[in-house]
Structure 1
């Protein structure tokens, strides 16, 4: 590709942070070793800026990201890698393609690339989100600090339309490509070739579920908090995140009573804080009709409004997730044993969240049955808490190269 063509491509890119010169110079930067102290210090400064921002406090996902970037938090995660850090280096330039439906995902992906020692090109979500703007503003303020100006060349946060040429240009530039998106997005972007030694990390379509022990739930004295945790797992992203539970499994001896209290507590929060658009309401009902037309024993449970759609299942069938929806659409099933989950434990099953269920029982179920799916088992309310091992992939290991030395 000649220089003029490069200029034409670069002129189509809009920069939130960085410039054309920054982008073109990235391959010449020396990679850091993982968890470099300068990077940890910068992230801690970024955290402080976010957490003191009154505007950010309106968005729980932004505040959660701020806490995640604290030095104390990063150092806890660093412990898992201390035995190999001294032999690892960032791979070079990481090109992150963020999803359009989870506002803060771009920031976590970028920080994972940075902690691994890479320079980072981040394609921001195509939709406008206030959360994105708040994080970008905090980044810009902290990068202006003389202490961190040397890190500025390691960031290019960009936007561009549907342009195969730009994607090809950036893919040819990078050493690692990280794609967060649906299966169709991944297939389309994969048409853009990478350098021979470059690697790719894909986070494809996944689905998640939750399991609640009714007896333990009814004993709980903090039911409002439990409802709030579930709300954060689901409604904060319109139930679009791969981590958002789509089916709720109930166990125990007092399931009906637990259901009544749980959904009432959730409805109180949803009515106060969530607005469903007409197109979302129609989509939920259309999905319910399709499910009812193709499966036996499907029953809609009466609710006070269309903010929560509850669907009772008579059977567990492996194609149920083909009929998942969002914006407050929940299938429910009463479990007698965890083995009943197996038809749904396909490779697309990402996160199983739980309340009141013995974690050892879940771990034993996974160990004994070795399903293709379930990459994460986490307490309810933490499904969106980002970790450096995600979808079963250790990001620090994948985003670095290991220098083996022999005596």
Structure 2
């Protein structure tokens, strides 16, 4: 096999896997039995570990790797054509979502590739826990092939190292902000190397006011818990966490729904969210900044330090530049979903909904040719990452077709 040599001399910190020079780079078919067996064992290892269960994001990843879920994904992906991984995939994982590196590694594995995943130089605790689990499984003879194909590494932000790795790869997966992506894209890669870039995105939530107002206590509590998970688990840092809440209905019905929903959410936040002094100051600073920068902001409501709400009189383009942190939300009342047409561009990723027909929303996006919104999910599912993300079928993109005629 003709392939560029990976240099063992690169100053890499190995979090999982041996030196890159000895990597097995021959690809497997997508959803290969070896891959599914490895991820199934990883799921069992994580879900049985009490330390892992203390981190909801690790538990969610372990749950996602369950055999039942992967079998469902494999069946959905299956087709009449032969496919195989592209070879070596280089992944640059983001710093703001610690478990993301494990998902991008899993996607690369499921596509059949050998993978080098770069994690931040100072990894979070979740990253260290997951890498320890990977090392444990890599050391077992049953997973020798998967161990030979995969590495998790760390190194400082160094273009020379990233360029050296890029020169050897058949696919490159970039996660980060717009500036980071633009910078990394300047680093050359082989002519046939494919690239997927996951840059800054903006997400929102749409709540049907009448449905919220009519909900019984159990449904309302569940809705508040689900919204909390979407927004607060990652401090609204995830690209799929909501920053804007659109209430469908008239002003009177929206006010009635708001009087129920926000206090219910505040109760969940008080129980679960440890708001520090620095976070509280940041949130207040953001509130003041948005009030100055956004002409449509006509008022605000605070539920202690748990929730800040900024009321909008209109939706204007570029509202996505105003992002909340630690529980700061913009909100707007609209009689119909048509208001989306005013603001949605390619920046918009996830629309989470309650009491709204998601299929009708998807049809509206297609019929009106909107450039954004790639996912429409129930409230509580905003953070559920999968192999179809940002409008890409990642496993399909990271594998190739072997055609016969």
What TM-score, normalized by structure 1, do the two folds share? Answer: 0.93
Q: Judge conservation of contact 1:275–1:307 (CA < 8 Å) in 2.
A: no
Q: Specify the alignment match of 1:223 in structure 2.
A: 220
Q: Judge conservation of contact 1:351–1:375 (CA < 8 Å) in 2.
A: yes
Q: Specify the alignment match of 2:331 in structure 1.
A: 332
Q: Specify the alignment match of 1:129 in structure 2.
A: 124
Q: State the 1:127 CA deviation.
A: 4.5
Q: Judge conservation of contact 1:283–1:325 (CA < 8 Å) in 2.
A: no
1:312 lines up with 2:324 in the alignment = no
Q: Judge conservation of contact 2:358–2:377 (CA < 8 Å) in 1.
A: no
Q: State the 1:100 CA deviation.
A: 0.4
1:148 lines up with 2:143 in the alignment = yes
Which of 35, 43, 47 does residue 43 from structure 2 map onto? 47
Q: Specify the alignment match of 1:197 in structure 2.
A: 192
Q: Specify the alignment match of 1:104 in structure 2.
A: 99
Counterpart of 1:333 in 2: which secondary structure? strand
Counterpart of 2:120 in 1: which secondary structure? coil
Q: State the 1:126 CA deviation.
A: 4.2
Distance in structure 2 (CA, Å) of the matches to 1:301 and 1:186: 35
Return 362-371 or 351-360, whichever deviates more.
362-371
- Which deviations, in whole Å up to 9, do the C-alpha atoms of 1:326-362 show, x marking residues without a partner? 2211000011111111122100100000011122331
Q: Specify the alignment match of 1:248 in structure 2.
A: 245
**Number of paired residues?**
396
Distance in structure 1 (CA, Å) of the matches to 2:179 and 2:18: 30
Counterpart of 2:145 in 1: which secondary structure? helix
Q: Judge conservation of contact 2:309–2:329 (CA < 8 Å) in 1.
A: yes
Distance in structure 1 (CA, Å) of the matches to 2:385 and 2:303: 34
Distance in structure 2 (CA, Å) of the matches to 1:295 and 1:131: 37
Q: Judge conservation of contact 2:311–2:331 (CA < 8 Å) in 1.
A: yes
Q: Specify the alignment match of 1:114 in structure 2.
A: 109
Q: Judge conservation of contact 2:29–2:111 (CA < 8 Å) in 1.
A: yes
Q: State the 1:269 CA deviation.
A: 1.6
Distance in structure 2 (CA, Å) of the matches to 1:321 and 1:140: 40
Counterpart of 2:239 in 1: which secondary structure? coil
Q: Judge conservation of contact 2:235–2:327 (CA < 8 Å) in 1.
A: yes
- Which deviations, in whole Å up to 9, do the C-alpha atoms of 1:188-208 show, x marking residues without a partner? 212221012111110011000
1:175 lines up with 2:174 in the alignment = no
What TM-score, normalized by structure 2, do the two folds share? Answer: 0.93
Q: Specify the alignment match of 2:55 in structure 1.
A: 59
Q: State the 1:7 CA deviation.
A: 5.5
RMSD (Å) for aligned C-alpha atoms: 1.7
Sort the Cα spacing of 1:103 and 1:60 in 2 relative to 1 into closer, same or farther, 3 A: same
Counterpart of 1:200 in 2: which secondary structure? strand
Structure 2, gaps ≥5 residues long: 1-5
Distance in structure 2 (CA, Å) of the matches to 1:263 and 1:306: 13
Distance in structure 1 (CA, Å) of the matches to 2:369 and 2:325: 29
Which of 222, 238, 242 does residue 235 from structure 2 map onto? 238
Sort the Cα spacing of 1:81 and 1:6 in 2 relative to 1 into closer, same or farther, 3 A: closer
Counterpart of 1:55 in 2: which secondary structure? helix
Distance in structure 2 (CA, Å) of the matches to 1:312 and 1:136: 43
Structure 1, gaps ≥5 residues long: none
Counterpart of 1:302 in 2: which secondary structure? strand
Q: Judge conservation of contact 1:103–1:125 (CA < 8 Å) in 2.
A: no
Q: Judge conservation of contact 1:100–1:126 (CA < 8 Å) in 2.
A: no
Q: Specify the alignment match of 1:386 in structure 2.
A: 385
Counterpart of 2:303 in 1: which secondary structure? coil
- Which deviations, in whole Å up to 9, do the C-alpha atoms of 1:355-398 show, x marking residues without a partner? 11122331232132120001010111001111211101111111
Distance in structure 2 (CA, Å) of the matches to 1:150 and 1:205: 35
Return 173-182 or 361-370, whichever deviates more.
361-370
Q: Specify the alignment match of 2:78 in structure 1.
A: 82
Distance in structure 2 (CA, Å) of the matches to 1:252 and 1:191: 47
Sort the Cα spacing of 1:382 and 1:125 in 2 relative to 1 into closer, same or farther, 3 A: farther
